Amino acid sequence: MAEPVVAKKGAYVLDLEAGEYFWCACGHSKNQPFCDGSHAGTGMEPHKFTVTGEEPVALCGCKHTATPPFCDGAHKQLKT
């Protein structure tokens, strides 16, 4: 499997309404941090997640989190 592209070396902190979302796991989406289908051919798939009520979330921008789609600070360990 290919390595994801770092879209942002930090989190996307957003206030999301209740609903289903697809987090971009490959880093190629032009609609970060959400999937726009740019993963086609990468061997990677978006991560579907559900927000049950209006709440702030910190979505991973570096694509190296161990807790997708949420930021776990992995960007602090990246060399680039």
Question: What is the identity of the amino acid at 77?
Answer: Q
What are the structural domain ranges in the chain?
11-77
Task: Measure the N-to-C terminal CA separation of the chain; round to a whole number of Å.
Answer: 20
**Tens digits of residue pLDDT in 60-80:** 999 999 999 999 999 999 986
Give pTM, 2 decimals: 0.93
Contact between 58 and 11 (Cβ < 8 Å): yes
**Tens digits of residue pLDDT in 13-52:** 999 999 999 999 999 999 999 999 999 999 999 999 999 9
pLDDT for 55: 86
pLDDT for 2: 81
Q: CA angle 65-29-10, nearest 5°? A: 35
| Dihedral angle sign, alpha carbons of residues 79, 73, 2, 5 | negative
